[in-house]
Amino acid sequence: MEKLDLKNYVGHRTLLYGETNTGKTYITSKFIDFLLDSNLFAPKEISILDFAPKFLDVNGIKIGGKILDFSIKSVECNYLKLNGEIIAPRVNSSNKQELFQNICHNYKITAHMLELYVKQQTKVLIMNDMSIYLHLGDKKFLLNVINNTPTFFGNSYFGTMIKKSFGKLLSLKEKMRVEFFINHIPNSICTL
């Protein structure tokens, strides 16, 4: 992927999507650092919803990773705190029942964070790993939130490397929902 000129994404809605370990969270973190360094917005006008699980290395496949792993400065922002730990749903499941429990667990956390954001919207919304919310979340509600934010910069998993035989339906649903956002967010960029 070519280097992005981050100033071009201020005042726009941008979605990075791609396979695991393609730099989505890293680039999102660099956008936060750019915003803070440029003083275009007060730090508290930048809200961060970090839905990603903690970094995992599963058989050489790197999964997850938080904004804070790449941007120490991000703590200056309105970094909404999780009420619990996000679980990498497929990786931490051995059957369909556990998978469903994991996505329900994650949905409760991410939906609550999104509700908190809606009550105190800011000029900038950063969202790391929105596919975690989309497993059960309302795509039209999320699109409305994004469209009502002057600057949105988010990322989402969109790949095939994270899979389990019992998770095929989840993977298909996730793919279709991310495609919905690719088609509705004008600045959608694949990180290959």
Q: Where are the alpha helices (DSSP H) in the chain?
A: 24-38, 96-119, 131-134, 139-147, 168-184
% of the chain with per-residue pLDDT over 90: 73
Q: Indicate the pLDDT class of residue 24, thresholds 50, 70 and 90.
A: very high
Tokens of residue 3, six digits: 């280097």
pLDDT digits (tens, 9 = 90+) for 78-97: 999 888 999 988 887 889 99
**CATH code for the domain defined by 9-190:** 3.40.50.300
Angle between helices 96-119 and 139-147 (to 10 degrees): 30
- pTM of the model as a whole: 0.92
Task: Sketch the domain layout of the chain as residue ranges.
Answer: 9-190
pLDDT digits (tens, 9 = 90+) for 99-145: 999 999 999 999 999 999 999 999 999 999 999 999 999 999 999 99
Do the Cβ atoms of 25 and 129 come closer than 8 Å? yes
Beta-carbon contacts of 11 under 8 Å, excluding residues fewer than 6 positions away, are 150, 151
CB atoms within 10 A of CB 185: 19
Structure-model confidence comparison of residues 59 and 111, the more confident one: 111
Structure-model confidence comparison of residues 107 and 54, the more confident one: 107
Tokens of residue 115, six digits: 């509700």
